[in-house]
Amino acid sequence: MTVLAGKHVVVVGGASGMGEAIARKALEAGARVTIAGSSQARLAAAAKRLGTGAATLVLDLADAGSIAAAGRAIPALDHLLITAQSRAAVQTIRPLAELDFDLLRQAFEVKLFGALRLVRELAGALARDGSITFFSGGASRRIIPGHVGLAAVNAAIEAAARQLARELAPVRVNVISPGLVRTGAYDAMPEAQREAMFAARARALPVGRVGEPEDIALAALHLMTNGYVSGAVQDVDGGGLLG
């Protein structure tokens, strides 16, 4: 399959999880791929797993100077996907009474402000038939205990993306809203607690399982290649919004 042949795909967050799976899918589809993230060591390890064709770029979405440098380092691209979330994001999963606002501010800093700043830097470099894909999460529309903070972050990026789909047209702008997906984002949880969470969610979902990064990569490929989708929030959640 070479549906992305000749295209430059930039994945911010490509050193792990969904971003790495998207980078792999884009390479399989013939693209030239740049993975970006805040750690050169993690990027290098991911590039090794991905094999030839994946370039790396150190980019800290919490740092305006780093974002400006990324703008200079990427003179042209076709598709931008931003899966990055702050490492502390999962720790904000708390009821309001226990919410750490400094951690929540970091989550906004990376996923909303950093992402928007990066889009501003790269907008002029994006191909007119290109696309931007942001990532949110089901808490923006589904009531999930302890998600008051992340719900706000995710709703904010969905709202901004819809505005940008008009403002940056004809570049297409979409959002993938993943359900629970088995990635390293949950590595800090004790294993027994993490597996119990995955098992409980799998039982509750219509599809009977939690997501894998590959599920998200397939949706990302669709949003990169289908020129008639813009301003959409694509749920890839095993039917999680059905209740």
Ligand X SMILES: NC(=O)c1ccc[n+]([C@@H]2O[C@H](COP(=O)([O-])OP(=O)(O)OC[C@H]3O[C@@H](n4cnc5c(N)ncnc54)[C@H](OP(=O)(O)O)[C@@H]3O)[C@@H](O)[C@H]2O)c1
Task: Determine which residue in the list 27, 50, 117, 137 makes contact with ligand X, applying CB under 6 A.
Answer: 137
Task: Determine which residue in the list 33, 50, 80, 85 makes contact with ligand X, applying CB under 6 A.
Answer: 85
Segment 92 to 131, residues that bind ligand X, using CB under 6 A:
110-111
Task: Determine which residue in the list 4, 18, 57, 223 makes contact with ligand X, applying CB under 6 A.
Answer: 18
Segment 146 to 205, residues that bind ligand X, using CB under 6 A:
178, 180-181, 183-185
Is 102 within 8 Å of 30 (Cβ atoms)? Answer: no
Burial of residue 193 (number of CB atoms within 10 Å: 0-12, 13-18, 19+) = exposed
Judged by DSSP in three states, 130 sits in strand
Task: Determine which residue in the list 84, 116, 132, 223 makes contact with ligand X, applying CB under 6 A.
Answer: 84
Pairwise CA distance, residues 103 & 38, whole Å: 17
Pairwise CA distance, residues 68 & 91, whole Å: 28
Task: Determine which residue in the list 9, 16, 117, 223 makes contact with ligand X, applying CB under 6 A.
Answer: 16
Segment 26 to 45, residues that bind ligand X, using CB under 6 A:
37-39, 42
The residue of the chain with the least Cβ separation from ligand X equals 17
Q: Which CB atom, from 32 or from 111, has the smaller least distance to ligand X?
A: 111
Q: Which CB atom, from 30 or from 194, has the smaller least distance to ligand X?
A: 194
Count how many Cα atoms sit within 13 Å of the Cα of residue 110 in the half-sphere of its side chain. Answer: 22
Is 56 within 8 Å of 33 (Cβ atoms)? Answer: no
Q: Angle CA(219)–CA(224)–CA(226) in degrees, nearest 5? A: 90
For ligand X, which stretch binds (CB under 6 A), given 25-33, 68-76, 84-92, 118-126?
84-92
Kindly compute the dihedral angle of the four CA atoms of residues 185, 132, 9, 6, in this order, to the nearest 10 degrees.
160
For ligand X, the binding residues (CB under 6 A) are 12-13, 15-19, 37-39, 42, 59-62, 83-87, 89, 110-111, 135, 137, 178, 180-181, 183-185
